[in-house]
Amino acid sequence: MSQYILVDTWNGEGYSESNATIIEADNIQKAVEVAVDRANEACQNNGTVRVFNGNTAQYTIGDDNGAYHILPYEGQYGVCIFPDVNNFTTLPSRESYLQAMNNSLADKEVDADDREETKEEEQGCIHTSAGCEIFMKLNAFDDLEFDEDGDGVEFEIWKSKITGVRYKVPISIERDFSNMEKV
């Protein structure tokens, strides 16, 4: 079973609830079937659904439209969703994610409270002069499994079950003297 990113973009009422999640499917066609099912649920038999580019289920309800996009999950750190235009971009690393988010937060149109909350949470909905941008971190650590001890003191090696990429993960020891016992 493979993992895919399912990105939900919607430009109608409630657009700021656009989101992304990781799903599992046997192959890309099965993942697109999930996208089509979600689009049909969103329409509630009150709109039209069509698949294009082989990975997107687009739906229309009245004057509004949305889409469920599918792409392989390959360890991407997060996404930035642009619901105004039913589009998104993936951000491969924490560094690129934070850089893109901070660039958007620098926009003069961003509300000060939204700016602080988004900085603190490292994700959220930002209204810029260019439109709405939703930054979401993907749960990139669920697919990691312990691989080897590393040096056993400062780091361990963990490996992605999906991509096979290995990561050096710092470890720390916290001493709890308030619960110590005589031996």
pLDDT tens-digit map of 3-12 = 899 999 988 7
Longest dimension (CA), the chain: 73
Average pLDDT over residues 11-22: 80
**What string of H, E and C letters represents the secondary structure of 129-174?**
CCEEEEEEECCCCCCEEEEECCCCCCEEEEEECCCCCEEEEECCCC
Q: Report helix, strand or coil for 75.
A: coil
Query: Is 128 exposed, middle or buried (CB count within 10 Å of its CB: 0-12, 13-18, 19+)?
Result: middle
Average pLDDT over residues 76-105: 93
pTM, whole model, 2 decimals? 0.73
pLDDT at 161: 67
pLDDT over 60 at 101, yes or no: yes
Report whether 158 contacts 169 (CB < 8 A).
yes
Find all residues with CB under 8 Å of 44, minimum gap 6, and list them: none
